[in-house]
């Protein structure tokens, strides 16, 4: 399969597989925008809005890619200091679905490793509302979890098989509720026509 898995799909999947299906199988989210030309980090570092701050290199809005895991996605910020590269993922609100967000950082780390050839052991989540930077250790456990989710998402994208919509507390905050109607199956069953 030539299609790469959008990193953004991973935490959607972790949130709700049905939501992931709606976003990435149904709506044509995966468009050709994800096919990027070979990205070499060292080529980009001097050309994409970088700035130097206490010997830390920053590159914003950069495409990350891993051929091994067939992953692709745009990173908000990549930094480098002491010869190490690490991803910083921006989140609008407060510390929320930390688990899901950590998956995304880990997936970015996997890409960074592929692109730099160096191990990435640390990443950050930056929560805009509280200006907090939360370290994310790219542990073996997190890697395994991430790789397992990548496999599930790959399977989902390849087959298009719809995971069932199962009502849970997460549905209340889900922007796709009106399309998904997760309670419909139950309510249809109980409906008696007048």
Contact residues toward another protein (CB under 8 A) are: 25-28, 160, 162, 164-165, 179, 181, 183-185, 187-189, 191, 193-194
* 1 CB-near residues (< 8 Å, 6+ apart): 70, 154, 158
Q: How far is the CB of 175 from another protein (least distance, A)?
A: 15
**18 contributes a contact to ligand SF4 by CB under 6 A:** yes
**Given 2, 16, 59, 106, the residue binding ligand SF4 (CB under 6 A):** 16
Residue 187: how many other CB atoms lie within 10 Å: 9
The Cα–Cα gap between 157 and 124 comes to 28
Identify what 164 binds: another protein, ligand SF4, none; CB under 5 to 8 Å per kind.
Answer: another protein
The Cα–Cα gap between 134 and 122 comes to 10
- Window of 13-21, 65-73, 76-84, 135-143 that interacts with ligand SF4 by CB under 6 A: 13-21
The Cα–Cα gap between 180 and 194 comes to 25
Q: Smaller CB distance to another protein: residue 30 or 105?
A: 30
């Amino acid at each position: 399969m030539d299609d790469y898995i959008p990193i953004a799909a991973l935490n959607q999947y972790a949130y709700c597989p049905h939501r992931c299906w709606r976003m990435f199988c149904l709506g044509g989210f995966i468009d050709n925008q994800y096919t990027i030309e070979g990205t070499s980090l060292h080529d980009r570092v001097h050309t994409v809005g970088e700035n130097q701050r206490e010997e830390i290199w920053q590159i914003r809005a950069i495409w990350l890619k891993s051929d091994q895991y067939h992953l692709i996605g745009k990173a908000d910020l990549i930094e480098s200091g002491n010869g190490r590269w690490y991803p910083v993922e921006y989140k609008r609100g407060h510390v929320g679905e930390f688990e899901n967000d950590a998956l995304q950082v880990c997936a970015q780390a996997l890409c960074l490793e592929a692109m730099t050839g160096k191990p990435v052991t640390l990443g950050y989540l930056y929560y805009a509302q509280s200006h907090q930077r939360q370290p994310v250790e790219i542990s073996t456990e997190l890697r395994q979890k991430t790789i397992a989710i990548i496999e599930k998402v790959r399977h989902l994208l390849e087959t298009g098989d719809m995971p069932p919509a199962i009502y849970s507390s997460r549905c209340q905050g889900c922007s796709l509720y009106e399309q998904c109607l997760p309670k419909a199956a139950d309510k249809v069953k109980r409906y008696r026509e007048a």
